[in-house]
Structures are given as C-alpha cells and as structure tokens.
Amino acid sequence: MPKRGMRKTARERLEKLRHIFSHPQHPEGRTSERLASVREALDAWHPAGTTEQGQKAQLEERLQAARRGFESGRQKSKVSAESKRLLEDVRKQRPMKLEGSDQTFSPQLLGTHGKLSVADREAEEKALADHISRGEQIYRALTDGGERPEATRDNVSALSFYLRAQSEKATGRPWLRGAMTIPDRGGKIRSWLDSTHGHVYTRDTSHLSKEDQEARGGQGRGMDFEREGPIEQRLPYGMRTLLFQQYKREGQQRLYLKMETEGARFNPTHSAELGGREEPSASDIRPMQAADVPEAISHLKNLLIAEKDTSGLARYGEKFGDLPKDMQAAYRDIVQTALKNPQLSHAVEDGVSYEVGPSFKGIPIPRAAAKLAGYSKGVAKIEDHVSQIEKNLDNLQRYLGDRGLDPKVKEQIQSGIDAWRQGAQSAWGASHSTQSGVRVGNEVVLQPDDLGSWR
C-alpha cells in the first residue's frame, strides 16, 4: 500500500499538470504545446518514399521518449530542449504544403539538403511558390503567343520548377532522378532556351537516338546552375545541370528535359558534324571554365558507376533497373513463365517467327529475355513486348483449343501482365499510358492538359 506522502505527491503532480495545461505561458506548458504541435505535424505527414518513412519513424520514437520524460516530471530542462529540437526537425523534414495549392511537395525539392532553420524554410517555401508561379507565367507566354520573356538563367530556373511541379502532380508522387518530355510546337521553348546568353552549350547525350540527334534541333544542349544560393540560381532537388533537346514522335514536336547531378560542358570527343541540326548562336554559348573538367570527370564516373540513390523517391530513368521493383518482378515472371513453355520459349528468346499447326504463323516477339538487367528501351518498349506475348497467348488458344497452353500457365502469365500494368498506372498515373507513341524511355510524358495552373 502506497504511503500517504506518496499519494499526496501524485495528487500534487496531477494538480500541477492541470495548471500547466491551462497556462501555456508556463515553461512546462510551452513544452507540452510544442510536443502537441509535433504530434499534429506527424499525424498529417504521409511519407512519399522510404527515406521519409525512416525520418518519420525516428521522429515518432523521439516524440514518445520526450512524452514519457515529460509525464514523469524528471529532467525538465532536457525534455524542454528536446521538444524544441523535435519541433524544428519535424518542420524541416515534413512535406511542404505551399500556400494556395492542395499539392504537397517533398522538402528535398528545395535542394537545400535539410540545412535550413525553421524560419529560413518558411521563407524558402514562400520563395518557391512565387518561383513556380513565375515559371507558369513564362510557360504561358512562350506557348500562348504573349510577349516573349527575357531568356535568363533565373527564368529558366523558374520554368524548370514549374515543369517539375506539374510532372509530380501528373504522377501523384515526388521523384528525384529521371526525365520528362513536354510538347513544344514550333520549337518555341527550345529556341528560347537556346538564346540564354552566356549559359547554354551543346553537348553529347545517349538518351535520344542518333536519328533524333541528327534531326533539326535534336543536338543535346546543357545549362549549368548553382548547388547553393538563392532559389533563382538553383534547379529542383539541387541538381547541377539541365539537359534539353528536341525530338519528334507521331508528328508531334516535343522537348526532352533531364536534370542531372553534374555538368557536361567539357568533352574533347564532342563533334559538331551531326547533319541538319539547329544550334544556339555561337555568341550565346558559354565559354569553357576551369571547373568544367572535374565536372565532366564526375559525369563520366557517374555514367559508368551510378551513384547510389538514398532519397527513397521515385525515379524515371531509361534503364530496366530504374523501373519500380514490382514492375521488374512482374516482367521477369511473365518472361520466365513463357520461357518454360515450348510453344513460346523460342519466340521469347530469339525473336523469330514460329509456326504452330498448318494454318497458323505466330507473331514475332522481340529479343528481350536474355538482357533484362541492361534493358534500356524503356517502359513503352517493354509494354510492346508484354502486349505481343499476350497476343500470342490468345492466338495459341484460338488456333489450338484444348491442344494449346496449359490453362494454369496462361493464367500465370496473364496475372503477371495485370501486375505489370497496375504497377505502370501507379508509377505514371492512370491517365499516362505506357504505350504512348511519343515516349522515349521511362520518362514522365506531359501533355497540354498536364500543364495548367500549378495551384
């Protein structure tokens, strides 16, 4: 049985807590208020990737420990200091909700690597909203025939933030690495970027085909930005360079845009002999600088040995390994199951026409199974392969009937096809078909309907 003095202490502590909660100006009341604010912020946080999930889990653990310390009444100064740190950390790490927009953004979009104080981050968020709005105005002026905005690097930065915001609205998720394409009728945006005096340069790139690069306006271009400084001097996610080049699909002129971690101004093998291309004016091209050489070395190193991505965010690169893990697994299951069936295996492996019965000639299936890890044609090409496998399944069943595929095999392959397409809808958005004829690789494909108001 507890002693009377202990019961009195517990009662006194309870009364003190009531006093604290009813008087926020009390030092312990401020601690309680801060902890409640942290709880509210964490409850409203829905992590977009594995990194954010880990950040939130760590903050949850710290909050629980601080709450236990507060309720015990011990180490008051330590708990008070931790409540301040917690509130600042959760404000720095939580997703951004910009004024006037229902869309949330990863704080990594700012490209400040989490170094901002709470006050600085609030100022940065306001600057970001203004910058995106400026980018939207620039896009409207370039595409709607308004007064042409001045071609400055600051304005290119604003346009880049606007386009990235719209791409994340289209996909429904933040993404760090990869590319996007936009319609560019008449090459108006590309020619405007070309005239950014003293910043633009031509460069080699492996992202578009040789045929694309030999076409008018198809030569790769680059423009470098700062990794630190005002938002007008930066790119989304702290990227270093903007690669852009023109291409055409299905009669539609488009612009390929990719933000990369290193510049590519220095390239001793770069050739100006591609036929038919339209380049920036020589007077606008940025002169070579001393820093271009180490940038180029880093660029090459990253090309050969890709830097590990620890952001936990989505990626839209061209390679098979850039696809979401569930899509990679689904495609492997489709191909590996087909390979086990003698009526499909040769077609999947060799890409040859094959005959089944006297009246049926099968549809050739492209070679793909042997080089899954290095597949670099993108989701649209893989979808073509999946579609042809699916078509062959139907044809085999139609022409062979009971002598055709084992129903369990057909069901297993069809299940993989369904999983593949569900993964594609989740990654690119339900309205962005993997079979789009304008697609280059795994990039985010934006159409005019995707480029409305960002708010």
Distance of CA 386 to the CA centre of its chain: 24
Contact 405, 341 (CB under 8 A): yes
Do 306 and 376 lie in one domain? The reply is no
In a domain, 379, yes or no: yes
Do 270 and 399 lie in one domain? The reply is no
In whole angstroms, give the CA distance from residue 56 to residue 90: 8
Residue at which a domain ends, from 312, 332, 350 = 312
Do 240 and 168 lie in one domain? The reply is yes
Sign, CA dihedral 111-442-295-291, equals negative
In a domain, 280, yes or no: yes
In a domain, 450, yes or no: no
* pLDDT for res 197: 92
Do 128 and 58 lie in one domain? The reply is no
Do 210 and 298 lie in one domain? The reply is yes
In a domain, 415, yes or no: yes
Q: Considering only CA atoms, which of 219, 231, 308 is closest in space to residue 264?
A: 219
In angstroms, what CA-CA distances link 134 with 97, 103, 155, 191?
18, 17, 8, 19
Q: Considering only CA atoms, which of 241, 260, 271 is closest in space to residue 302?
A: 260
Do 149 and 90 lie in one domain? The reply is no
In whole angstroms, give the CA distance from residue 38 to residue 32: 10
Residue at which a domain ends, from 312, 341, 372 = 312
* pLDDT for res 26: 46
Give me the residues paired with residue 257 across strands. Answer: 180, 244
Residue at which a domain ends, from 262, 293, 312 = 312
* pLDDT for res 203: 84
In whole angstroms, give the CA distance from residue 203 to residue 221: 5
In a domain, 451, yes or no: no
Domain count, the chain: 3
In whole angstroms, give the CA distance from residue 441 to residue 443: 6
Q: Considering only CA atoms, which of 441, 208, 418 is closest in space to residue 315?
A: 441
Do 31 and 68 lie in one domain? The reply is yes
In a domain, 364, yes or no: yes
Do 75 and 16 lie in one domain? The reply is yes
pLDDT in 10s for each residue of the chain, 455 residues: 444 444 556 666 556 555 444 444 444 568 888 888 888 878 877 776 676 788 889 889 999 998 888 888 877 888 888 888 888 778 767 788 788 887 888 888 888 765 666 667 778 889 999 999 999 999 999 999 878 999 999 999 999 999 999 999 998 888 988 899 999 999 999 999 999 999 999 887 877 877 888 888 888 899 999 988 899 999 999 999 999 999 998 889 999 999 998 888 877 666 554 444 567 887 788 888 888 887 878 777 776 666 666 667 778 877 777 788 888 888 888 877 877 776 665 545 443 333 333 332 333 334 433 333 333 457 877 787 788 778 777 777 666 665 666 778 888 889 999 999 999 888 887 666 666 678 888 889 999 999 999 98
Q: State the angle between helix axes of 27-43 and 50-72 in degrees (0 to 180), rounded to the nearest 10.
A: 150
Do 120 and 257 lie in one domain? The reply is yes
In a domain, 53, yes or no: yes
Residue with the two structure tokens 């050969």: 304
Do 124 and 15 lie in one domain? The reply is no
Do 253 and 331 lie in one domain? The reply is no
* pLDDT for res 368: 39
Q: In degrees rounded to 5, what are phi and psi of residue 343? A: -80, -10
Please name the residues in contact with 348: beta carbons below 8 A apart, sequence gap of 6 or more: 335, 338, 339, 365, 368, 369, 389
Contact 366, 385 (CB under 8 A): yes
In whole angstroms, give the CA distance from residue 40 to residue 21: 17
Do 159 and 274 lie in one domain? The reply is yes
Containing domain of residue 44, as a range?
4-94
In a domain, 445, yes or no: no
Distance of CA 7 to the CA centre of its chain: 58
